[in-house]
Amino acid sequence: MQRPVKITLTRDESILMHPKRHPLRMKYEVGCNKNGMLTYLEADILGDTGAYASVGMKVLERAAGHSTGAYTIPTVKVISKAVYTNNLPCGAMRGFGVNQVTFAIESCIDDLCEQGGFDRWQFRFDNAIKNGDATSTGQIIHKGAGVKETLLAVKDIFQKSKYAGIACGIKNTGIGNGMPDDGIVKIEIIAKDKVLLHHGWTEMGQGVNTMAVQFLTDETGINPNFIEVHVDTSKEAYSGMTTASCGQLQLSVTQSGNL
């Protein structure tokens, strides 16, 4: 009595007991004009969050925000809800609701291409979101939209293949949904061949230390072999929250010694 107990779950027990990805019931209606340009999307998304809320609200937020997939659609109406059920609680899984809605929009686009006689690659290329376009939430994409470039990279292989499927997916960076996600690194120049890079993130296998070196090398041209990464709270290198594997860099330089 009153002693600790160690429990080892079988694979089947683990699958039954642990949180799952949110099942979504999605009703989609998508339209395009005769030239194969998307004109509107209406979606009703219902997410089963299980017996507890957990991250259900955020998952369904992201499902709504990514309901248009990797495309620019001028008119959008989306209702997205997380509901309690008597099922097992659902939790954080990679993609946070985006995988499900991507399946929905891509299925609808394939259907439009079949009904309208459009080429599946060309339809996606023509409607792909690009820098300067707005997402379904009205956010302007200022840079980093690489959907068209990605499609161009696979065009020849896709069109030459006897049997091939094609689909596009896009996911927010950082925290997303309008939440600020920033951080500061502090750089100390110790000698001509030694630079200390201080940051405040948690390295948990996502490679944030390597990423920090790559950012600094790319921005400054410093030899990566000269860079040492340190995590020291006394340096007050603010990093924001540790969520998933996010981390974003802003650079501030402190010089110690002479170059």
pLDDT digits (tens, 9 = 90+) for 164-196: 999 999 887 555 555 666 778 889 999 999 999
- The domain spans of the chain are 11-160, 185-255
| Sheet strands (E) in 73-192 | 75-84, 185-191
For residue 194, give the 3-state DSSP assignment.
strand
Q: Considering only residues 135 and 36, tell me which one the structure prediction assigns the higher pLDDT.
A: 36
Burial of 132 from C-beta contacts in 10 A (0-12 / 13-18 / 19+): exposed
DSSP codes, 134-150 = B-TTS-B--S---HHHH
Q: What is the pLDDT of residues 223-249, one digit of tens each?
A: 999 999 998 878 787 776 666 556 554
Phi, psi for residue 105 in degrees, rounded to 5? -65, -40
126 vs 36: CA distance, rounded Å: 8
Beta-bridge partners for 42 = 29, 77
pLDDT tens digits, 129-167: 999 998 888 888 888 889 999 999 999 999 999 999 999
Please name the CATH architecture into which domain 185-255 falls: 2-Layer Sandwich (3.30)
The pTM assigned to this predicted structure is 0.73
Residue 170: Cβ within 10 Å count = 19
pLDDT recorded at residue 93: 83
Give yes or no for a contact between 98 and 66, defined as CB atoms under 8 angstroms apart.
Answer: yes
The answer as to CATH 3.30.365.10 being correct for domain 11-160 is yes
* pLDDT value at residue 257: 45
The mean pLDDT of 78-92, rounded to a whole number, is 92
What letter would DSSP give residue 52? S
Higher pLDDT pick, 254 / 91: 91
